[in-house]
Amino acid sequence: MGGILCPIRGGPGSRGALAAGITLAKENQETLHFLYIVNLDFLNLTERGRTQVISDEMRGMGEFILLRAQAMAEKDGVEAQWTVRQGNVTEEIMAMAKEIQASHIILGKPKHEEQNVFTMERMQTFVQHLEEQTGAKVVLAEPGGAE
Partner 1 sequence: MKIGRGALILILIIAVWLTFTLAAGVSAEPAGQQMGVSLIGNVIDAQNQPVFEAQVQLLQENEVIAEGLTQGDGSYRLTLPAQVGDNLVLRVERQHFETTTIDIAADDFAQLAPDEAVTLPTIELQRKITIAFWVATLVFLGMLLLIALEKLHNVLAALTGVSLVLGISYLGKPLIEDLFIFDFTRALQYVDWNVIFLIMGMMIVIAVVEGTGLFHWLAFFAYRVSRGKAWLLMAILMVITAVASAFLDNVTTMLLMTPITVQIALALGLNPLTLLIPEVLASNVGGIITLIGTPTNILIGSYADIPFSGFLSNLSPGVFISLIGLFIYCLIAYRKDLFHATSGVSPVLLEKLEENARITEPANLAKVGWVGLGMLGLFLVGEHFHLIPAVTAILGATALLIWIRPDVEEMIEAVDWTTLVFFMALFIVVGGIQEVGLISFLAQWVASLVGENLPLAMIIVIWVSALFSTIVANIPFTAAMLPVVGYLTNTVPGATSLALFFCLSVGSAMGGNGSLIGASANMVTAGIAERAGYPISYAYFLRKGMPALFITVALSMVWLLLRF
Footprint of partner 1 on this chain (CB under 8 A)? 8-14, 38-39, 41-49, 51, 53-54, 57-58, 60-65, 67-68, 71, 147
Instruction: Tell me whether residue 51 or residue 128 sits nearer to partner 1 (CB atom).
Output: 51
Beta bridge partners of 6: 34
- The CA-based dihedral angle spanning residues 91, 83, 78, 16, taken in that order and rounded to the nearest 10 degrees: -50
User: CB of 146 within 8 A of CB of 27?
Assistant: no
* CB of residue 1 to partner 1, shortest distance in Å: 28
DSSP string of 110-124, one letter each residue: PPGGG--HHHHHHHH
**Burial of 112 per CB tally in 10 Å (0-12, 13-18, 19+):** exposed
Instruction: Tell me whether residue 113 or residue 132 sits nearer to partner 1 (CB atom).
Output: 113
* CB of residue 87 to partner 1, shortest distance in Å: 13
Give the other-Cβ count within 10 Å of 34's Cβ: 28
Beta bridge partners of 34: 6, 82
* CB of residue 76 to partner 1, shortest distance in Å: 14
Instruction: Tell me whether residue 54 or residue 120 sits nearer to partner 1 (CB atom).
Output: 54
Instruction: Tell me whether residue 51 or residue 115 sits nearer to partner 1 (CB atom).
Output: 51
* CB of residue 62 to partner 1, shortest distance in Å: 8
Instruction: Tell me whether residue 66 or residue 134 sits nearer to partner 1 (CB atom).
Output: 66
Tell me which DSSP letter residue 99 carries.
H
* CB of residue 40 to partner 1, shortest distance in Å: 8
